[in-house]
Structure 1
Amino acid sequence: MGNSELQTKIKDAPVDPGCYLYKNSAGKIIYVGKAKILRNRVRSYFSQSHTKDPKTLSLVAHIADVEFIVTHSEVEALILENTLIKKHRPKYNIFMKDDKTFPYLKITNELFPQIFVTRKLIKDSAKYFGPYTDSSNMKEVLRIIKKLFAIRDCSFKLDEETVQSKKVRLCLNYHIHRCDGPCQGLISPEDYGITIQKIAQFLRGKTTETLEFFRQKMETAAKEMKFEIAAKYRDSYSALQNYSSRQSVEFNDQVDRDLLAIVTEEEIACAVVFRIREGKLVGKDSFFLEGVAAHEPSEVMQTFIQQYYEKALTAPQEVLINIYPKECDLLKEWLSELRGTKVAISKPAKEERLQLMKMAERNASLQIKEILLKKSQKEDYTPKSLIRLQTDLMLANLPRRIEAFDISNIRGKFAVGSLVTFVDAKAKKSDYRRFKIKTVEGINDFSMMAEVIKRRYSRQVREANDLPDLILIDGGKGQLSAGKQALMELNLDSLPVAGIAKRLDEIFVPNRNDPFLLRKDSPSLILLQKIRNEAHRFAITYHRKLRGKGEIGSELDRIVGLGAARKKELWAKFKTISAMKSASVADYCEIKGVGPKLAQKIWDQLHR
């Protein structure tokens, strides 16, 4: 499609709610979106007055055609958008990793329903519970159900004709009281249906109602002198009580709620869902989302809520989140329709809920780190943060090796420099180096930075060692200029250099007068901050060590009778300041030439 045809389509776009599908030149769908007014939304992509992030710029550059699907309402558009994303998996959309393998528990819709595990959702009037991301948890739930409730375990089709004709014989489960014999008509469909209702309540986390059901059954059987049946209900009641007591009580208000926490790192997002029913934490699920690198956290949360609750098939009274979704009001409306009553979406405010949210965030962070660790162990792995950094700093080569510098001193005294090395976005501590400033007197951070860089790379050139793909300087324009000048003197001005200032995390690059800012959640900024902070930590640790030694040295200089040789012996024996101060008089006496009197003088001086 020509550019003029595309512009005409956009100009004549519907003013109704609905979905729009962007296609590339090959006719492949590359993005699906929804809008309250389609014309306004699609025009905004091509408007010059709107600032666009790199992802949107890349999307717009590949749009060759657009298709519109009109809906009756914005909520209907939301549901359709979910379906289309799941079906086409467009390149520029966020989507949960393929969850077709996640199991559900299914209660069939028949005269005597069955309950079993399935991995397919079919529109067949059956009830589905899940998805279960932890199959061991699902198996435990199914085991408890079969222990508590006498339901059939067979897959026979039990309609009225089959039951009346008694075609199916009683099995072992009936004789061990695991089934009430619906195949032979030994239980009515109505009574069996009540059992199924209680199972559904249990699966929704309504343990209080199920406990009351067993208690009433037990008391009724006892009154009727049916003690064997009463004992069976007593055992079920005790087993359910024991199961319920193992669940952590988090809230006292008995409100059903889900707690959603999303954490993003590099190109991956992990969402952790805590399901709380009747004040108890009854389940935890984890999901990974792809294609999140160029999206705002609010968009990621929006997409996850849409895709998760479409699969969950129902919603609780309250959804607690750690990031507000992009269209919170629209999601509330949709979830309320799904539930049939009002659903609230909010951030936790009370302490107990905040603590649970922090726990969910920690779970998500740990799972992301595990995924990234597995990826990093692959030989051809390239962290997405490096790819983004290459783009953001407009580097010719991927910055696999980054060397970062920092200076630390106090009013020019005990001045030191640090060098930390990161390879493939991970610290390589064997390549860390530290420097005592030798040629600069007084307070002059710029000259100190120039000295350290010159010393580092003059040696690298002399020994023909590898040079970095990027040099990062902790500081602003002044430090960057000093470092660049030092490199020019070594004929290394082609090496890429950047500075990152502490206060606003502004990025400085050569040949650009003004600094620029990266998005706070940008993977490249997070990586630069991590490297800068490590360089600062390494520098200040060395500075404090030298300063401590200097202070102790001046204390030792005041001791009459303690010469340079004995001071050297002191340092050789105790190694650190803390060890020297912790030593006893007897420990000092072990040094050659230090008698009891001199040892006491040393101890007194260090403990004044």
Structure 2
Amino acid sequence: MTTRRPGLPADDAPVWEKLKRLPVSPGVYFYKNQQGKIIYIGKAKVLRNRVRSYFVGTPDRPKTAMLVARIWDLETIVTRSDVDALLTEANLIKEHRPKYNVDLRDDRSFPYIRITKEDFPQVFVTRDIIKDGSIYYGPYTNVKSLRASLAVIRNIFTIRSCKYTITDDAIAKNKIQLCLDYHIKRCDGPCQGLIQKADYREMIDRVESFLKGDTGPVESWLEQHMQESSQSLAFEDAARFRDQLTAVRTYAAKQRLKTSDFYDRDVIALARQENLAAGMLLRIRSGKLIGKEHFFFKNTDDQENGALVGQLMTNLYTDTIYIPKEILVPCEVEDQDIVEKWLAVQAGYKVSLHLPKIGEKRDLQQLAERNAELMLAELIAQQKLKVEFIPKMVRALQDDLQLPAAPRRIDGFDISHLGGTETVASMVCFMDAKPAKKEYRKFQIKTVEGIDDFASMREVIHRRYSRVKAEALSEPDLILIDGGKGQLSAAKGVLDQLGLSHIPILGLAKRLEEVFLPGNSDALNLPKTSPSVILLRRIRDEAHRFAITFQRKRRGKRMVMSALDTIEGIGPKRRLALIQHFQSVTRIKNATVEEIEAIPGISHAQAERIKNALA
């Protein structure tokens, strides 16, 4: 029998068998823990070599050692090329956010400027990427600056602001009326066919040039039209073009930094401290600095700079339409050849990654690095302030309960049922006196029959905190039980059995809003209007609301199913298909026989039987 070194997965883990059958191909691999949850996603030029390397020798980084010890299962996706593997990895990390991958904070919420794919395109800010042929510029992290730029665009270009779908048919049938924007000369009236598609498209092309930082074509066009309007004695139009030209030149003048070669390029820099990192992007267009964006990473302690820069680039350039031909980077990028191939595919032309050593480009790189260091220092200062700040309500609760530490995380539990049926439990979590809804949990009570709130509370407390122990999850600073001495005693007994007696726990009785502590038969003498009781009541009410909502939802599903149970020939699979399609019995009842028959697995005779039974 082979003896494996400590820190490797258990001998019966499925990963060992799968390691023997790994393909010699590029692709993406998933590591899963014993609960089946994805804990790490990676890419590889050769899956067999890369995946097996985790299990050979001793990991040189603590985070990698922790990862390997938790691997239970493995899955792979073979891709056509290493470039496809790079993009697939980036998309899957965004979707699953595994625990041991570097976390690019809030990358899903960055705004873009979207130019829709229509005969008369709209231009607006969005945070949602829709793959419908629309053009996206971004991402932007400075929303204030972004909206200021969009305001300049609105002032210069007569782009429509409405959300209507303008088609030839809509114009011919006069479906859309002219709005105020047309009358104040902020729109050219495409809804009434008052501007041709080609002319509107030409204006959108100038908008795109503007967004790329090239204001020259816009200035030339405005100056030409100003002169033509003046010569034809259309002085009002000439004044409007003059004002727009002034706005463009004012906007361009704000871009103080200029380079001597007038090229388009992006400059990327990185600053690091402990397990945090800040990435900085400077956008240089036509030699002018037109914008900067910052990005924060966490859980970076085991990552090389090249890997972080590579991940930042895949997030930056996956959805944006324009990529400059040169990108300055602070170090050699991990799998740089693959990244450059992928960028070329995205851009449609060769994109070079360049590490500057001297000259003007090095000055740009140092400027970006200084900005990254400033942003990281600001983040650390904010985090320190956040850690040090404790809300007054939490401080008051600590004092009233005489707790050794401020109860910054409080878990609240409630039981809900209907006459002993459909019994469920809820757990809500408050962090610094505010709901942390990502930490909320719902439980279906499995071991209790009839009305027994004490046994139900024992079950849910045991299920929750045995998992907390097994998975080394964060323990609460305080547990709140919705109930009096009985429910509190039941919960406390479970905590003692699990070896978690050090976690403070209390009960809040509904009738008189009394607070009970373990071992005390009398309630605490706390004023009902005190900040402590107000906070506890808020948590209790939220737990009650969450439990009631879950219980009603389950009861509604059961009632829907029971209405279909009596129909001959409609078994569990067909009932489920009906509910998934129509969502309610009322909708099934109002549907036609043909609509019911359209559900896969439902015959015409069965559809008629369902319709008659629910009539």
Structure 2 length normalisation: TM-score? Answer: 0.59
**Structure 2: distance between partners of 1:135 and 1:216:** 33
CA contact (8 A) 1:2 1:64 kept: no
Deviation of the 1:35 alpha carbon: 0.8
- Residue deviations 1:328-366 (CA, integer Å, cap 9, x gap): 111111111111111111122343332332222222222
CA contact (8 A) 1:275 1:283 kept: yes
- Residue deviations 1:497-525 (CA, integer Å, cap 9, x gap): xxxxxxxxxxxxxxxxxxxxxxxxxxxxx
**Structure 2: distance between partners of 1:241 and 1:373:** 37
Matched with 1:69 is 77
- Residue deviations 1:417-475 (CA, integer Å, cap 9, x gap): xxxxxxxxxxxxxxxxxxxxxxxxxxxxxxxxxxxxxxxxxxxxxxxxxxxxxxxxxxx
The total of aligned residue pairs comes to 380
CA contact (8 A) 1:11 1:43 kept: no
Deviation of the 1:221 alpha carbon: 4.3
CA contact (8 A) 1:104 1:129 kept: yes
Deviation of the 1:323 alpha carbon: 2.3
Distance 1:173 1:63, change over 3 A: same
Say which of 198, 205, 214 aligns to 1:190: 198
Q: RMSD between aligned alpha carbons?
A: 2.1
CA contact (8 A) 1:315 1:339 kept: yes
Structure 1 residue matching 2:121: 3-state secondary structure? coil
Tell whether 2:209 aligns with 1:201: yes
Matched with 1:243 is 251
Structure 2 residue matching 1:325: 3-state secondary structure? coil
Distance 1:234 1:46, change over 3 A: same
**Structure 1: distance between partners of 2:13 and 2:180:** 74
Deviation of the 1:170 alpha carbon: 2.2
**Structure 2: distance between partners of 1:378 and 1:204:** 38
**Structure 1: distance between partners of 2:226 and 2:326:** 34
Matched with 2:20 is 11
CA contact (8 A) 1:95 1:303 kept: no
Matched with 1:124 is 132
**Structure 2: distance between partners of 1:379 and 1:208:** 49
Deviation of the 1:53 alpha carbon: 2.2
CA contact (8 A) 1:262 1:323 kept: no
Deviation of the 1:220 alpha carbon: 4.6
CA contact (8 A) 1:320 1:348 kept: yes
Tell whether 2:149 aligns with 1:141: yes
Instruction: Map 1:169-568; keep pairs closer than 5 Å.
Output: 169-222=177-230, 226-378=234-386
Deviation of the 1:114 alpha carbon: 1.4
- Residue deviations 1:469-501 (CA, integer Å, cap 9, x gap): xxxxxxxxxxxxxxxxxxxxxxxxxxxxxxxxx
**Greater CA drift, 56-65 or 282-291:** 56-65
**Structure 1: distance between partners of 2:253 and 2:55:** 58
Task: Could you tell me which runs of 5 or more consecutive residues in structure 1 were left unpaired when the two chains were aligned.
Answer: 382-608
Q: Percent identity at matched positions? A: 41
Deviation of the 1:208 alpha carbon: 1.8
**Greater CA drift, 183-192 or 210-219:** 210-219
Matched with 2:604 is none
Matched with 2:575 is none
Distance 1:225 1:45, change over 3 A: same
Matched with 1:108 is 116
Q: Which amino acid aligns with 1:44?
A: S
Matched with 1:90 is 98
**Structure 2: distance between partners of 1:14 and 1:372:** 43
Structure 2 residue matching 1:113: 3-state secondary structure? coil
Structure 2 residue matching 1:146: 3-state secondary structure? helix
- Residue deviations 1:151-172 (CA, integer Å, cap 9, x gap): 2122222211221222333222
Matched with 2:53 is 44
**Structure 2: distance between partners of 1:369 and 1:301:** 19
Q: Which amino acid aligns with 2:265?
A: R
User: Which structure: larger Rg?
Assistant: 1
Deviation of the 1:194 alpha carbon: 0.8
**Structure 2: distance between partners of 1:224 and 1:344:** 49
**Structure 2: distance between partners of 1:103 and 1:5:** 42
**Structure 1: distance between partners of 2:284 and 2:386:** 38
Q: Which amino acid aligns with 1:207?
A: T
Deviation of the 1:248 alpha carbon: 2.0
**Structure 2: distance between partners of 1:55 and 1:313:** 36
Deviation of the 1:313 alpha carbon: 4.3
Tell whether 2:39 aligns with 1:20: no
Structure 1 residue matching 2:303: 3-state secondary structure? coil
**Structure 2: distance between partners of 1:218 and 1:311:** 37
Deviation of the 1:252 alpha carbon: 2.3
CA contact (8 A) 2:259 2:287 kept: yes
**Structure 1: distance between partners of 2:349 and 2:368:** 27
Structure 2 residue matching 1:12: 3-state secondary structure? coil
Deviation of the 1:63 alpha carbon: 1.1
Distance 1:364 1:91, change over 3 A: same
**Structure 1: distance between partners of 2:93 and 2:162:** 38
Deviation of the 1:299 alpha carbon: 1.6
Tell whether 2:39 aligns with 1:30: yes
Distance 1:313 1:31, change over 3 A: farther
CA contact (8 A) 1:250 1:352 kept: no
**Structure 2: distance between partners of 1:30 and 1:258:** 33
Structure 1 length normalisation: TM-score? Answer: 0.60
- Residue deviations 1:292-316 (CA, integer Å, cap 9, x gap): 0121222211211122222434421
